[in-house]
Amino acid sequence: MVQRRDSGPRLRTPFARAVVPVAAGLAFFVVLGLFTWGIAAYLASGDNEPSDRLAPSRLDLGSVTGRASNVAEDGPLLFPELSTISGERSLVVDHEGDDPTTGWRLYYAFPPDRPDCPVTQVRGTATFIDCDGNELDVTELSPPTEDVRPVVQDRRLLYLDLSAFSQN
């Protein structure tokens, strides 16, 4: 015969067996909620500076020659709802010329003065369709007015400087 070790107090009544697990579950969720609230309060209590934790200030695109080849073959690169705090900005990266280290251009993915009218790209081309069904060339898209720009680093790597996005 196997002898049982006493594992602590047992819940003997049906009422105790019903109430104690429910109370323990409620206590767990209260503690979890307070922990989550504490983290949110800590993050909100800072100096309210934008953080790379919420929205990165840079998006690495890789090799300038690789991206220039992509644009030459398939048209401009469209980045919808690009890692911004609000998630409302979409960007189009285009390249012009034979030198992959120069000629990079950036546009918002909507017509000028129509930020409420996002565009979609016609696959493999530099043509975009706006929300009204109008065809637009990449050069007819809205140029960025903020300090958002493509940057070539060490004549090899391309990245987008999104520091203005992180501040919005």
pTM: 0.63
In terms of Cβ atoms closer than 10 Å to its own Cβ (0-12, 13-18, 19+), residue 147 is exposed
Contact 52, 61 (CB under 8 A): no
User: Domains of the chain: which residue ranges?
Assistant: 12-48, 58-166
Hey, how many other C-beta atoms are within 10 angstroms of the C-beta on 58? 15
Model confidence over 102-158: pLDDT tens digits?
Answer: 999 999 899 988 888 889 999 999 999 998 999 999 999 988 866 688 889 999 999
Per-residue pLDDT reduced to its tens digit, 26-69: 999 999 999 999 998 887 776 555 555 556 678 888 999 999 99
Q: What is the pLDDT of residues 1-35, one digit of tens each?
A: 566 666 667 888 888 889 999 999 999 999 999 99
Taking alpha carbons only, the member of 111, 112, 109 closest to residue 120 is 109
Instruction: Give the model's pLDDT for residue 162.
Output: 76
Q: Is the pLDDT of residue 168 over 50?
A: no
**pLDDT at position 85:** 46
